[in-house]
C-alpha cells in the first residue's frame, strides 16, 4: 500500500490507473479506523481493481464548538489496518494541502439538511459536500463506499452526485455494530464506562420501535415518544434528536408507510453518538 500526501500526486496516480482501464473503488474516512470502515474497504477490494482510502479530518464539516481538535487519530494503526483490509493507496493530506486558501466557491446543500444532524450541526453537510467534491475530483473513483450509519450523509451525497453529474456510483454498507448492538464509531472511545453500558439503549430502542412498526404501529409520534422514554430512563445522555422521516427524502410523515428512517443523536459527556434504522413497509 502506498501512502500519498500530495493532491497532485494522488490525482496523477489515480488518473494513470484509470487510463489503464482499472476500476477504482474509494472509501473516504476521517481515520481512527474500526470494523465499520474496514467493512467498506473490504467490499471495495472485492469489487474493484484498485482501492483508495482517504483519511482526512475535514475542518469544514466541524462547527466552532465541535470536536475537531480532539477527534481521535492514530495514523500508524490506521495505515496497517487499511493495508490489511486491501487498500492499495492511502491518501492522507493535511488541511493546508486540501485547502491552500479558503474556498472561494462554496457548496450549499439546500435539501435534506433542515432535519437531524443538518439542523443540529449547521453547515456540516456543506462541509461534507465540499470535501467530497474535491475528493471525487482527486481520486476519480468509479465506486465510492459509504456507511448507512450516516444515513443523512448518504441522502445528501446521492443528491450531490445527481445534481453535479459526478461519474461515480454510490455504494452503501449496513451499519457494523459491537456484539451488544452499539454502532461502531471512532467516537465510542470517548464514552465513560457507565456511558458505554448505557449506550446500548440507542440501538435497542430503535429495534423496539422497528418491532412495533412491523406489528402494526403507524403513528410516528407514538413511536418517537416511546423511544424518548426508553432512552431517558436508561441513560444519562441528553437526547439531541429522535426523529422519523421518509427516506431518502427526509420529509415528515403523518402516517408510517413506504420507506422511513428513525434516526437519533444522543450526547454523552465527551461523545455525541448517532444511530438509525430504515424500515420499508
* 32 annotated among ligand-binding-site residues: yes
Least gap, CB of 124 to ligand AMP (angstroms): 12
Residue 185: all three cell numbers together: 464509531
Least gap, CB of 39 to ligand AMP (angstroms): 6
Using CA atoms, how far apart are residues 66 and 214, in angstroms rounded to an integer? 37
Q: Which position's Cβ is nearest ligand AMP? A: 147
Using CA atoms, how far apart are residues 88 and 146, in angstroms rounded to an integer? 18
Residues near ligand AMP (CB under 6 A) are 29-30, 36-37, 39-40, 146-147, 149-150, 173, 175-176, 183-186
C-beta closer to ligand AMP: residue 147 or 237? 147
C-beta closer to ligand AMP: residue 13 or 186? 186
Using CA atoms, how far apart are residues 55 and 66, in angstroms rounded to an integer? 19
* Options 28, 37, 266, 268, the catalytic residue: 37
Using CA atoms, how far apart are residues 150 and 152, in angstroms rounded to an integer? 6
Calculate the alpha carbon distances from 118 to 4, 128, 137, 176 in Å.
Answer: 32, 11, 24, 23
* 22 annotated among ligand-binding-site residues: no
C-beta closer to ligand AMP: residue 29 or 235? 29
Asked if 124 is an active-site residue, the reply is: no
* 63 annotated among ligand-binding-site residues: no
C-beta closer to ligand AMP: residue 146 or 190? 146
Least gap, CB of 186 to ligand AMP (angstroms): 6
* 124 annotated among ligand-binding-site residues: no
Residue 14: all three cell numbers together: 489515480
* 96 annotated among ligand-binding-site residues: no
Binding residues for beta-alanine: 61
Active site residues: 37
Binding residues for ATP: 30-37, 147-150, 176, 184-187
Binding residues: 30-37, 61, 147-150, 153, 176, 184-187
Amino acid at each position: 500500500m502506498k501512502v500519498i500526501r500530495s493532491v497532485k500526486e494522488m490525482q496523477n496516480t489515480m488518473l494513470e490507473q484509470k487510463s489503464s482501464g482499472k476500476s477504482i473503488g474509494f472509501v473516504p474516512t476521517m481515520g481512527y479506523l474500526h470494523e465499520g470502515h474496514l467493512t467498506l474497504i473490504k467490499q471495495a477490494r472485492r469489487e474493484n481493481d484498485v482501492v483508495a482510502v482517504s483519511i482526512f479530518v475535514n475542518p469544514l464539516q466541524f462547527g466552532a464548538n465541535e470536536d475537531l481538535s480532539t477527534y481521535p487519530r492514530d495514523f500508524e494503526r490506521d495505515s496497517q489496518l487499511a493495508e490489511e483490509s486491501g487498500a492499495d493507496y492511502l491518501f492522507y493530506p493535511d488541511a493546508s494541502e486540501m485547502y491552500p486558501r479558503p474556498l472561494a466557491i462554496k457548496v450549499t446543500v439546500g435539501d435534506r439538511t433542515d432535519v437531524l444532524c443538518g439542523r443540529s450541526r449547521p453547515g456540516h453537510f456543506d462541509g461534507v459536500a465540499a470535501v467530497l467534491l474535491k475528493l471525487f475530483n482527486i481520486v476519480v473513483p468509479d465506486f465510492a463506499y459509504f456507511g448507512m450509519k450516516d444515513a443523512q450523509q448518504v441522502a445528501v451525497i446521492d443528491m450531490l452526485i445527481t445534481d453535479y453529474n459526478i461519474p461515480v456510483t454510490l455504494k452503501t454498507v449496513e451499519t457494523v455494530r459491537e456484539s451488544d448492538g452499539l454502532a461502531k464509531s471512532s467516537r465510542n472511545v470517548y464514552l465513560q464506562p457507565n456511558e458505554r453500558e448505557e449506550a446500548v439503549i440507542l440501538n435497542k430502542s430503535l429495534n423496539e420501535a422497528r418491532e412495533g412498526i412491523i406489528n402494526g404501529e403507524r403513528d410516528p409520534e407514538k413511536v418517537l415518544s416511546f423511544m424518548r422514554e426508553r432512552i431517558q430512563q436508561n441513560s444519562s445522555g441528553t437526547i439531541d434528536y429522535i426523529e422519523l422521516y421518509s427516506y431518502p427524502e427526509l420529509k415528515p410523515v403523518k402516517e408510517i408507510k413506504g420507506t422511513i428512517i428513525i434516526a437519533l443523536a444522543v450526547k454523552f459527556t465527551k461523545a455525541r453518538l448517532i444511530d438509525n434504522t430504515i424500515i420499508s413497509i
